[in-house]
Amino acid sequence: MIKQASYLNIKGISVCLMIGLMMLNGCATQSEIQKKTISDSNQVIREEIIAHAMWLIDKDYRFGGSDPETGFDCSGLVSHVYMKVAGIRLPHNAAMIAKEGKTIDRSQLKIGDLVFFNTMKRTFSHVGIYVGDGKFIHSPKPGSEVRVEDMTKSYWARRFDGARRVKTAQE
């Protein structure tokens, strides 16, 4: 019950954040948008990636899925979010997504970075999006939904394969 309430709270906050970002974007003039530094733009994109991913909490797992209406598998969730928010087309395969980004150390993780795990006795068999504070959002397995997990829990800590940073158009 507490987990359900915290997910609903996270989802509610995410929706509010997403609406706020859209309203702020809509109020800015083109010249104000152009004045943003690359790092400002990058941070905004990272926040939008997290907001959109959080909006998808509780969507069903579906093998091969990449659509909010029908459900997601892990790579489908990641590729959907990156395409919708940043216009970046990623493969629909965790191992292939791992080849797309720049390898980063766990200590360098920023929100919106990708985290990979060995969940099927093969490298980079699972992917999620880092949301901060040692947590990530993903679509874990059949019979479950998109949710946030703690990477420090023993299951995920033992299976951590690495992290990647995908460059956005502003980087």
Question: What residues are labeled active site?
Answer: 74, 126, 138
Q: Which amino acid is at 51?
A: A
Picking from 146, 116, 56, 46, the residue whose alpha carbon sits closest to that of residue 86 is 46
Rounded-to-integer distance, Cα 118 and Cα 39, Å? 32
Rounded-to-integer distance, Cα 169 and Cα 82, Å? 12
Q: Which residues, listed in sequence order, are joined to residue 130 by a DSSP beta bridge?
A: 136
Rounded-to-integer distance, Cα 10 and Cα 79, Å? 21
Rounded-to-integer distance, Cα 120 and Cα 83, Å? 26
Cβ count near 164 (within 10 Å): 19
